[in-house]
């Protein structure tokens, strides 16, 4: 299995075109690995989370529902449980805008590599606290997802 490594998000990614801009974010990360799997299949594999991730998400939803945060994805067009924002031949952009933060995930296939990048812009103090609290889980989950792609 190919090794997952931290990477620089290619300039061709649509995340660079975010209305707020990639530089106007509170968090951006990117991981990549060599991949010959088609984009859609790689994304589906990556976001078919193991039971421990699904359990963490259910626990997260129980904790944040009383705070009015988004706990249900109603979009019919999604990958895993993330709503699809846009699609091109070589990239999927997934994400949600919520009261505490906006986030986007890029799954970009380019030159035999697959890149998974996360962009987050917090909107208030709660968003900043939330981002700090989930960060250790985020890194573990994303690196695990990229391995499965």
Distance of CA 76 to the CA centre of its chain: 18
Does residue 19 belong to any structural domain of this protein? yes
DSSP 141: H
What is the per-residue pLDDT across 86-135, written as a single tens digit (0 to 9) for each?
999 999 999 988 888 889 999 999 999 999 999 999 999 988 998 998 89
How many domains, in total, are found in the chain? Answer: 1
What is the per-residue pLDDT across 24-75, written as a single tens digit (0 to 9) for each?
678 889 999 999 999 999 999 999 988 888 888 788 778 777 776 666 666 6
**What is the CATH number for 39?**
3.30.530
**Within 13 A of 51's CA, how many CA atoms are on the CB side?**
0
What range does the domain containing 121 cover?
A: 5-65+80-148
Q: Which residues contact 148 (CB under 8 A, 6 or more apart)?
A: 45, 46, 48
């Amino acid at each position: 299995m190919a090794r997952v490594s931290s990477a620089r998000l290619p300039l061709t990614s649509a995340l660079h075109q975010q209305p707020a801009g990639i530089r106007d974010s509170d968090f951006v990360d990117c991981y990549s690995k060599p991949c010959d799997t088609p984009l859609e299949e790689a994304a589906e594999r990556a976001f078919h989370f193991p039971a421990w991730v699904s359990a963490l998400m259910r626990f997260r939803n129980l904790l944040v529902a009383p705070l009015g945060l988004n706990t249900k994805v109603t979009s019919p067009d999604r990958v895993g449980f993330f709503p699809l924002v846009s699609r091109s031949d070589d990239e999927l952009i997934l994400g949600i805008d919520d009261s505490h933060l906006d986030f986007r995930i890029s799954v970009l296939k380019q030159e035999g590599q697959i890149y998974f990048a996360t962009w987050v812009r917090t909107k208030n103090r709660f968003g900043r606290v939330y981002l700090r609290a989930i960060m250790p889980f985020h890194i573990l989950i994303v690196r695990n997802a990229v391995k499965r792609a």
